[in-house]
Amino acid sequence: MNDQSLIEAAATAFRERDAATGRIQPSPAWCDLTPDGREAVFRLQYDSRLLERALDADGLSTTVKAVLRRLS
Amino acid sequence: MTAIDRAFARARRNDEAGFTEWLRLVELPLRRSLARFARVVDVEAVVQETLLRMLIVARDPERELTGDNASLRFAIGVARNVAHEEIRKLGHEDLVDPADLEQVEVDPEPPSDRGLRRAILACIERLPSRPRSALRQRLLMGHESPDREIAASLRMRLNTFFQNITRARRLLAECLAGRGIRLPEIPR
């Protein structure tokens, strides 16, 4: 996978949870990126959440939906 | 009392809608507060872990948070702790400059913009079919499904799915720019 695909892969709000501790895990794609690539991920994550909030009727991003899903 | 304070007060009374509103209000300022960690931690994971931990804080009757936006300021502190835990776990201590981690201001949430929503929807409609499908499905299912499943539901290879989303984002940005709209940049 090239860097652009890794950056896009890490932009999703989907995250695995550690089975033992329950802790949210970093994206595997993020782990494969250089520091510059990770900066790009941060900006893309931010832009993605803005886009999602603008389009959602309740103004919720997929991050908020992911958190709520874990609570339900 | 701010909107964040009011939503957190509702969350403390086990009001689920109140907690949802609190999540909506604090997500972006919390995310921005982690900008200086972006090279050493996956900010998305830190934000989600922090928001989950804040539910425990909200439900703790012994916990008193005082002052405007106290819950947001507390969440930012929790997020930094979570980020430092990740840095230690990943062995990234040498990549962190302590001077970069000074307290940041909590800037207010910009008001929502109905015109922006209409423009984004119009521009998405103009996207070519496959980039539009890829972007839409990510927007709809990104919180609950891994990309490989979303790609499979669209009968796309994973790499093709990413290429389509990347193309959709570029065309969407161009379309919005043509309407004089740019998404707000992250304050640094």
Summarised one tens digit per residue, pLDDT across range B29-50 is: 999 999 999 999 999 999 999 9
Distance in angstroms (rounded) separating the CA atoms of residues B183 and B169:
12
* Helix, strand, or coil (residue B154): coil
Nearest to B49 among A23, A35, A58 (CB): A23
pLDDT digits (tens, 9 = 90+) for B110-133: 555 678 889 999 999 999 999 999
pTM for this structure?
A: 0.91
Check A55 against B113: CB less than 8 A apart: no
Report yes or no: B167 and A4 within 8 Å, Cβ to Cβ.
Answer: no
Per mean pLDDT, which range of A50-59, B96-105, B147-156, B169-178 is the poorest?
B96-105
Interface mutation vs chain A, best among B19, B37, B44, B109, most A CBs within 10 Å: B44
Residue type, B185: E
Check A14 against B147: CB less than 8 A apart: yes
Closest chain A residue to B21 measured between Cα atoms? A60
The answer for residues whose C-beta is within 8 angstroms of residue B158's C-beta and 6 or more apart is B147, B148, B151
Distance in angstroms (rounded) separating the CA atoms of residues B81 and A67:
19
Burial (Cβ within 10 Å: 0-12, 13-18, ≥19) of residue B130: middle
Question: What is the interface size between A and B, counted as CB pairs within 8 Å?
Answer: 143
Answer yes or no: is pLDDT of A18 > 50.
yes
For residue A64, the distance in angstroms to the closest alpha carbon of chain B comes to: 6
Could you give the percent of chain B with pLDDT greater than 70?
86
Check B45 against A8: CB less than 8 A apart: no
Answer yes or no: is pLDDT of A72 > 90.
no
Answer yes or no: is pLDDT of B102 > 50.
no
Better-predicted residue by pLDDT, B1 or B39: B39
Nearest to A69 among B86, B143, B162 (CB): B143
Answer yes or no: is pLDDT of B95 > 80.
no
Check A24 against B144: CB less than 8 A apart: no
Closest chain A residue to B163 measured between Cα atoms? A5
Report yes or no: B27 and A61 within 8 Å, Cβ to Cβ.
Answer: yes
pLDDT digits (tens, 9 = 90+) for B141-163: 999 999 999 999 999 999 999 99
Looking at residue B89, its pLDDT comes to 85
Distance in angstroms (rounded) separating the CA atoms of residues B141 and B147:
9
Residues of A in contact with B40 (CB under 8 A): 35, 38
Distance in angstroms (rounded) separating the CA atoms of residues B55 and A35:
31
Q: How long is chain A?
A: 72
For residue B48, the distance in angstroms to the closest alpha carbon of chain A comes to: 6
Report yes or no: B39 and A35 within 8 Å, Cβ to Cβ.
Answer: yes
Check B183 against A60: CB less than 8 A apart: no
* Helix, strand, or coil (residue B181): coil
Distance in angstroms (rounded) separating the CA atoms of residues A6 and A37:
8
Check B42 against A10: CB less than 8 A apart: yes
Check A24 against B41: CB less than 8 A apart: no
pLDDT band at A63 (very low <50, low <70, confident <90, very high): very high
